[in-house]
Amino acid sequence: MQEITIITQNKIGALAEICEYLGRNGVNIEAISAYGLGDSGVVRLVTGDVTTATRVLSTKKGISFKTSEIVVAKLNDQPGELGKIARKLARAEIDIESIYILSRSKGITEVAIKTSDIEGTRKALK
């Protein structure tokens, strides 16, 4: 699975512009994390159609983006489970670059994890 990381100007309405632009072009956002970092805004999103999303984003002025592989981990929806995953990756000396919830249902939480070592992450979380 892939995430798209978008760097844009940190200004009022920047997120609205990106989300509306993707929506007008038929791209459904399945998960998103967004935050301001000084003058820049960082948006990380997951969609079922990375090809269309990147094609559409490449025509939008004022933003840059990249795609990255992520690992999806399923864990029990209870206290301490995320800590266990983070500890496994720390023991394997793998840096977590981003992590966010994709879905929660019937006692299971799916999280997206972007790390410095995707294959190592898969091994560490088996």
The helix (H) or strand (E) run that includes residue 111 is strand 108-115
Output the pLDDT for position 61: 82
> Residue 74, SS3?
strand
Q: How far apart are the first and last CA of the chain?
A: 17
The two beta strands, 71-76 and 64-69, are: unpaired
Pick the CATH number of 71-124 from 3.10.110.10, 3.30.70.260, 1.20.1440.230, 3.30.565.10: 3.30.70.260
Per-residue pLDDT tens over the stretch 66-91 = 999 999 999 999 999 999 999 999 99
Pick the CATH number of 2-68 from 3.20.20.150, 3.90.226.10, 3.30.2130.10, 3.40.50.150: 3.30.2130.10
Mean pLDDT of 33-42: 93
pTM of the model: 0.85
Per-residue pLDDT tens over the stretch 82-117 = 999 999 999 999 999 999 999 999 999 999 999 999
Write the CB contacts of 12 (distance below 8 Å, at least 6 apart in sequence).
Answer: none
Each domain of the chain, given as residue ranges in start order, spans 2-68, 71-124
